[in-house]
Structure 1
Amino acid sequence: MSSLFICLYLDEDVNILVAELLQARGFDAVTARDAGQLSTTDAEQLTYAISQARTLVTHNRTDFEKLVQAYFDAGQMHYGVIFAVRRPPQEIARRLLVILNQVTADEMQNQVRYI
């Protein structure tokens, strides 16, 4: 079954206001706090996002690029990772909305985007 809309999972480094702004626009965005995933490792964050069929949003480019590469090397799938440069929450939400309005969940699988 194909998925149209991307569901997001924001790790604990991303301001929860980003999720609230996206939710106000009707998008499915969950934070690490909401999911009870605070203080888990980066690998656990990615595993959780995958278990929930969610695209991970993070500011932690260095560590997650290595994890995504390991998934690629092992032939494992994920639902996408979006690396966001630290900006005000409204700007991050605006940039995420561009992706959410133009990319399907199926197209986001195994993809990495930088905003």
Structure 2
Amino acid sequence: MTSTATLYTDEDMSALVATLLKARGLDITTVPEQGAIGKTDSEQLEFASGVGRCILTHNRVDFERLHLQYIVEGKEHGGIIIVPQKNAYEVARRVGILVHTLTASEIKNQLLYA
């Protein structure tokens, strides 16, 4: 049995993306839902990691750096999916394909591009 990754959208991700992914049956929560608006990228990744969620973001530069930092420090995260800034429907389509193609364990600790 395979498990689907649970997701957490970064603050820069449109709320519509989360709505569209929820409509596809994915387990997703957002920064506003978690009361985490204004937290740093590092804090967002730490939260997502602590609850076993893969973070979705448009912020390539900061999250590539954080991923490398986690590797160097031997820390684990639930995965990072970087998506180019496109319309919400295209972002949801790309993420949906990726999350339905890979299991949660295949996404864990990976830096992926959708």
TM-score when normalising by structure 2: 0.96
**Cα-Cα RMSD:** 1.2
Describe the SS at the equivalent of 1:113.
Answer: strand
Instruction: Give 1:100 deviation, angstroms.
Output: 1.5
Distance 2:36 2:2 in 1: 25
Distance 1:31 1:82 in 2: 14
Structure 2 unaligned regions, length at least 5: none
Partner residue, 1:18: 17
1:33 is aligned with what amino acid? P
Instruction: Give 1:3 deviation, angstroms.
Output: 6.3
**Count of residues in Structure 1 that have an aligned counterpart in Structure 2:** 114
Residues 1:83 and 2:109 are matched in the alignment: no
Structure 1 unaligned regions, length at least 5: none
CA gap 1:4/1:15 in 2 versus in 1, 3 angstroms = same
Distance 1:102 1:60 in 2: 23
2:87 is aligned with what amino acid? P
Distance 1:6 1:106 in 2: 8
1:93 is aligned with what amino acid? A
Partner residue, 2:29: 30
Distance 1:110 1:10 in 2: 17
1:19 is aligned with what amino acid? A
